[in-house]
Amino acid sequence: MGLLTMSWKLMVALIAFVMMVDLINAERCPARCLCFRSTVRCMFLQLDQVPAVPSNTTILYLYKNRIKDIDKHTFHDLPKLEQLYLHFNQIDHLDPETFSNVPSLERLFLHNNKLQRIPSGAFHNMESLKRLRLDSNALICDCQILWLAKMLNEKQGTTQAAAICQSPDQLNGRSVTSLIEEFNCKKPVLTEEPTDVEITFGGTVYFTCKAEGDPEPDIVLQDGTLMIENASDSDMGSYECMAKSPAGEVKSRSVHMKPILANSHNNNHNSTKVRPKFVVTPEDVDVQDGSSARLDCEVTGLPRPVITWTFNDGPVDRQRTGTN
């Protein structure tokens, strides 16, 4: 009995030891880096990517490396990170979400990299930010950087920032924060708005929205088109799209998707008719003799439109084609 108890205790101790080793390995200092308490130093190591560091890291030195790309989730597990030094690398772009989950970050150094564009909203969730360096990059100062100029001006009392233009030539050397009044940006204007539609359950609906502006506005509907497949009762309701840029925003009118009742097929005067509308149109293609070519065409409307193909103003030879 005593031997059995001893064996059981040894097994428990072994399991605990293995778990402790795994925990230590998960939180260990990156290879070739120097770690002391919550500070991690990984400078002058020719690194081409950000190494995994302990989750309790508060200060992370990564300058003087060859880092070019940063995954958008790289810093998301570092809630205590306060200082991040990424200067003197080769970073040429940032994802809008790269710094979206570092609530404690107070100091961010990105100077002496190759950044030309800073994506809109890249620093919006950094409420603790006190120092930001973007100087000595290749920043293009046009309407796409207007959001950053506005943000830095709004935070002048709490955040010390350096962001210097490299191009266009007439703005070379100018501080981004000094250019707000000089940008001749255009507010978004809707060029195509969604329309009301009636649909039978199980059908497919397209809502299209397009806009223009400078800088090019973001549209809530991806690619300007919202496609709802297998429409059900829960999809019925009101829809609208919004085009937004640092220069302003605009919303479409609210449009409605309604179901076609079962008896409405026999009472066309009770249902709304929607004129055919191209969603996907054929495009020119170059092909070699004897090879196949594909042309796509999609149309919406009520009642459902019939698509007819023609070739040189004549009917298409159906023996040589296939249609869906």
CA distance 226 to 238: 13
DSSP class of residue 50 equals P
* pLDDT tens, position by position, 150-159: 999 999 999 9
Domains 31-182 and 187-285+293-320 share a fold: no
Which of 302 and 106 is assigned the larger pLDDT?
Answer: 106
CA distance 227 to 205: 6
The answer for 173, left when phi > 0, alpha when psi is -120 to 50, beta otherwise, is left
The fold adopted by the segment(s) 187-285+293-320 is: Immunoglobulin-like (2.60.40)
Give the class (CATH, top level) of 31-182: alpha beta
* pLDDT tens, position by position, 93-148: 999 999 999 999 999 999 999 999 999 889 988 999 999 999 999 999 999 999 99
- Tokens standing for residue 233: 């009762």
CA distance 246 to 45: 39
pLDDT at 18 (0 to 100): 38
pLDDT at residue 62 tops 50: yes
Which of 229 and 313 is assigned the larger pLDDT?
Answer: 229
179, 170 contact by CB (below 8 A)? no
Let me know the angle formed at the C-alpha of 311 by 309 and 316, rounded to the nearest 5 degrees: 60
111, 134 contact by CB (below 8 A)? yes
Q: Pairing relation of β-strands 248-251 and 242-245?
A: antiparallel
Q: Where do the domains of the chain lie?
A: 1-29, 31-182, 187-285+293-320
150, 161 contact by CB (below 8 A)? no
301, 274 contact by CB (below 8 A)? yes
pLDDT at 228 (0 to 100): 80
Single pTM value for the model: 0.65
Per-residue pLDDT averaged across 281-286, rounded? Answer: 80
Burial class (CB in 10 A: 0-12, 13-18, 19+), 144: buried
Give percent above pLDDT 70 in the chain: 82
Type of residue at 280: V
* pLDDT tens, position by position, 6-49: 555 555 455 444 344 334 434 799 999 999 999 999 999 999 99
127 CB neighbour count, 10 Å cutoff: 10
pLDDT at residue 322 tops 70: no
CA distance 297 to 278: 8
For 299, the 3-state DSSP assignment is: strand
- Tokens standing for residue 80: 């205590």
User: Residue 273: pLDDT band by 50, 70, 90 thresholds?
Assistant: low
Averaging pLDDT over each range in 101-105, 176-180, 251-255, which range is the top one?
101-105
